[in-house]
Amino acid sequence: MSDFAAQRAEDDFDRARVRQTLARMQAFLNPGSRELLALDDVREILKPAGEVYRGMKAVPLSLIVGSEGRYRDFDRTFMPKANHLRPRWVRVDVAHLRDVVLPPIQLYEVGGAYFVRDGNHRVSVARLKGVEVIDAEVVSLASEVRLRPDMTLDELRREVVGWEKRNFYDKTRFGELTGDRSLDFTGPGQYDLVLEHILVHKYYINQGTSGEISFDEALRSWYGEVYRPIARICDEARILARFPGRTTSDLYVYIVRHWDSLKRKFGLSYPVEAAVRDYSERYGRGLGDRFIAFVRAALRLDRNSPPDGNPGLDAAAGTKEAAGERSGTGAVPPEKNA
């Protein structure tokens, strides 16, 4: 390429790289705010129930916040993060400068935000040029939670957990029946698990009675005879300090799963107090570990959320395993390198 358009495109790519570098430096203390969202990560948090083809739309570029497969190659404003992107980026820009009509990009819409399925380089060039809208073929993924354009993955996770809590409290009248408004989790999916615990608790109570107790009675019984005793043991043992960033409700979920595993190994009489101690000793952070974690967090080097207690346990698979069932896992679609 030796014509004016080719040289202009090369210069445009250099400008895009400079813009990305400066933005990265400015966001040094909060690097996550500059990262594109990965569609697979968002799917895992939101678990959309289905998808609907929306056809062609003019989509504001400011609402495109992530990518299906190229989220590591571009920053949050779709500026290129590496020089190996230059050849394809330049070809797209040359087409733009020569007024060549390119096919529409392909997007997924989730909660009002958009993720690139195909056309990452076209979005990048358009963002550098100051284009405000782009033609796209859109498929919507069902979501009850709205995504803000500036939302990080951690903020999305908290938003989903908040929505799940409101839905759980409204559906079960948990606060009204127990007087407890502090059943709080740090990860999504746990309120559904608690509901499952309550229903299994109700099932076992009904095995020993002539009639059937109501859901409200089962909830009160589970809260008073299962949840609160375990929470009280955790509080008295002060083990929450060994799991920074987690809540007593988180520990309840992890410990119930761990306790079930220990009972299968040592017998049904294995005491919950011993299970709490064993879990804390196996997976809790000691004072030295917590100090190191504090220093790393202060330096913004530790960008990952705290582990779910036992990294090898799936906290969302508790009661079904206790009842002798196995729950399946959903297949995650492969990344597309478009």
The CATH number linked to 32 is: 3.90.1530.10
pTM of the model: 0.74
In a shared domain, residues 170 and 315: yes
Residue ranges of the chain with pLDDT lower than 70? 1-2, 28-33, 286-338
26 & 169 share domain: no
User: Are residues 127 and 157 located together in one domain of the fold?
Assistant: no
How far is it, in rounded angstroms, from Cα 84 to Cα 89? 9
End-of-domain residue from the set 141, 164, 187:
141
Q: What's the token pair of residue 36?
A: 């594109």
The confidence score (pLDDT) of residue 33 equals 64
Which residue's entry shows tokens 């004016």?
4
pLDDT score of 115: 98
- Looking at residue 272, what is its pLDDT? 95
DSSP type of residue 131:
-
CA dihedral 136, 137, 141, 146 (to 10 degrees): 20
What's the number of domains the chain is made of? 2
Does residue 253 fall inside a structural domain? yes
> Are 171 and 73 within one domain?
no
Residues 62 and 77 sit within 8 Å (Cβ to Cβ): no
pLDDT score, position 3 = 85
Q: Does residue 202 share a domain with residue 136?
A: no
> Domain residues for 128?
4-141
- Runs of H (alpha helix) within the chain: 4-26, 39-46, 86-97, 120-129, 153-172, 174-178, 190-207, 215-222, 228-237, 248-266, 272-283, 287-298, 319-322
